[in-house]
Structure 1
């Protein structure tokens, strides 16, 4: 049984059709909002000064204990920026969202409750 399984899988993978990309007119793409996130590099964070602004935002939130906190990379989203914080001492996660002007939008804990 085991000796026949591998050739069978190879044969079915060769016979199945492949998916090809279809060109979509640009006017239909313009009407939809793309919800992609792009991870910023550490060099880009420093060039924009996002690291300093992220620290200033987190310092103003009283619920987050800054001792032994790790920050994820900053992601650029359609509405602004997003990153996560993890308190190594307590084990709590926080998701922080800010707009393009770095005004605080929301802070949520690991259970998706707003702070």
Structure 2
């Protein structure tokens, strides 16, 4: 059942009532996820940039695991590590193939 609207006009001898339909229009989010190795050393198996437009609440990250000689990959961090403690992530860490949560107004990490 559609909601009813009423318009009351001051000093008018009548009440106008009409039925109307409210239609929601979705606005997809345009997103780009870029992966950065934060090094000039050779890194193989780096994921490609992901770009799309979606109404989803989660984006599945690339399952590619970067390879760099002498290092173990610990995940993607939302904040670039400092050079004195590169193994410490001060942001949120995401694993390959993990979900990156989004909503309609802001990015939210899940």
TM-score (norm 2): 0.28
Higher share of residues assigned helix: 1
TM-score (norm 1): 0.27
Larger radius of gyration: 2
Asked which structure has the greater RCO (Cα within 8 Å, sep 6+), the reply is 2
